[in-house]
Each structure stands twice: as C-alpha cells, then as structure tokens.
C-alpha cells in the first residue's frame, strides 16, 4: 500500500506585505505523479522553493516521510532523498555529460579528501562504481553518444534529460520537476511523458511537478492541485480538475 512520502500542512510564505503562499496543504503518495498548476503568479514555484529548502516558510509544516524538513537547508533536504530540477536548466555546462553525472554522486561516495589524494583502494572502488552508475544512466536516458560532449553544447531536450538523470543518480525518494516541458518540442514532450512514467514504475520514485502544458499534466498526473493568487482552489483527479468551475474560471475567466 502506498505511503505518504510528502505532507505539506497549512503552508504560508510571506515576502514583506505580500502573502505569496496562503495556507496550502496536500500530500504526495510514494507511487504518485502529483502536479501543481495555476496561472503565472499563483505561487507554485514558491511552494517548490519551500519544499526544497530554498525558502524557510513563514508558517506551516513540511514532512518528507516522518521527517520534518521545513527548517532544513536545500542540501540537507537533498540528502534525505528529495531532489529537484529547475525551470531554467542548471547544469555544469563546461563539464562533459559524464562529468555532470559523476559530480552528482559526490555526497553518496562519502570519502575524505585524503582518500582522493592518496587514491586509496576504497577511493578507486568508489570511483569505478560511480563511473558504472553514470554509464547506466547514460544508456537509460539515451545519452551515451554524448558522454564526452560539454553539457552546454547539448540540444535543449538532451539537457533536460541530463538534468533529470543527474537527479536520479542520487537515488531520490521524491523528484521535483519545475516546468520540465518548457522549451521542448511536441516529440520531446511525448518522450518526457514516457520517461516520467518509466521513472515512477521502474525506479519507484514519486514525482511532484509544476507544469503549464495541460496536455502533459492531464495525461500523466494521478492528482492535481490548482492554485490562484497563492491560494489552493481545487484538488482532485485530472477529470475532476477539468470539470471544476473554479478552475475553469481561473483559467478562462467568466462573463
């Protein structure tokens, strides 16, 4: 039976006099793809930044499993198994594709600087394991042909796949995707949809995403939260959301 992997309770985020997130609450199950949607300025990215440890919420609680994470920094949250991509791809663009995947594993290797300088047997074993893991993800993401190419020289769709691979190589429990379809062509969006489904079914990772592409959201999500002006206005299945008058009003207006 699926467990609750993320619980957001009564989350508020204030910037001076602006209440950017106003009492948002939802749960993500361990086998779910959960989407947050809403017009520009709805507060979606602010919610993401609170969950990921980039902002400290003004009030409310966030739990990853049983662990409270609302006061943790982003790197501590990542160590617990919550990782994210960004709307604008953030790669080490002067490093190769392979090097990006090796760098992503540094926390998990947990070896001292001295071990690296002395090239101890433990360091060499860890280095070979990291290379093998990187090679596996290159194949899984269809990036093997670009392994030695600088990440900044990849086509945009391949940069997206590399960014997701860099997250997945850390073996996360929850993957946050911030507008993953932005800038992709129709075929790349179809490939992205297939990839997210594969990651959920084959790798057992829960997915929380923000996305403006409604076709992708409706085809891939188990549950959707709709926000407007920082407030949650609807929560339900894709079918329920498509037929909710509050959602129709938020997106289309009313006479």
pLDDT digits (tens, 9 = 90+) for 134-184: 999 999 999 999 999 999 999 999 999 999 999 999 999 999 999 999 989
Evaluate if residue 1 carries a pLDDT over 90.
no
**Strands 206-210 vs 174-178: parallel, antiparallel or unpaired:** parallel
Average pLDDT over residues 33-45: 93
Phi and psi for 239 in degrees, rounded to 5? -65, -40
pTM: 0.88
| Chain centroid offset of residue 217 CA | 14
What pLDDT digit, counting tens, does each position of 219-241 carry?
999 999 999 999 999 999 999 99
What digits encode the pLDDT tens for the residues 89-137?
A: 788 889 999 999 998 887 655 554 445 555 667 777 878 888 999 999 9
Checking if the pLDDT of 253 tops 80, the result is: no
pLDDT score for 108: 58
pLDDT of 252: 63
Residue 10 CB partners (closer than 8 Å, separation 6+)? 23, 24, 25, 59, 60, 61
Evaluate whether 137 touches 168 at the Cβ level (below 8 Å).
yes
Tabulate helix, strand, coil % of the chain (nearest 5). 40, 25, 35
């Amino acid at each position: 039976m699926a467990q609750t992997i993320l619980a957001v309770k009564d989350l508020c985020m204030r910037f001076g006099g602006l209440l950017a997130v106003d009492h948002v609450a939802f749960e993500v199950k361990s086998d779910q793809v959960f989407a947050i949607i809403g017009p520009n300025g709805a507060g979606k990215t602010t919610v993401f930044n609170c969950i990921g440890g980039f902002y400290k919420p003004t009030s409310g609680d966030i739990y990853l499993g049983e662990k409270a994470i609302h006061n943790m920094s982003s790197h501590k949250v990542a160590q617990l198994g919550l990782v994210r991509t960004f709307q604008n791809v953030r790669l080490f663009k002067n490093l190769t594709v392979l090097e990006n995947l090796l760098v992503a594993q540094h926390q998990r290797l947990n070896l001292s600087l001295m071990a690296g300088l002395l090239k101890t047997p433990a360091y060499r074993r860890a280095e070979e394991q990291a290379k093998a893991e990187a090679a596996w993800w290159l194949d899984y993401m269809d990036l093997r042909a670009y392994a030695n190419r600088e990440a900044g020289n990849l086509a945009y769709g391949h940069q997206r796949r590399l960014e997701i691979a860099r997250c997945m190589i850390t073996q996360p429990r929850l993957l946050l995707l911030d507008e993953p379809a932005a800038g992709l062509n129709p075929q790349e969006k179809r490939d992205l949809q297939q990839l997210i489904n594969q990651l959920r079914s084959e790798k057992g990772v829960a997915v929380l995403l923000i996305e403006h592409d409604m076709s992708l959201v409706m085809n891939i999500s188990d549950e959707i939260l709709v926000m407007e002006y920082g407030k949650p206005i609807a929560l339900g299945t894709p079918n329920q959301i498509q037929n909710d008058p509050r959602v129709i009003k938020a997106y289309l207006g009313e006479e």
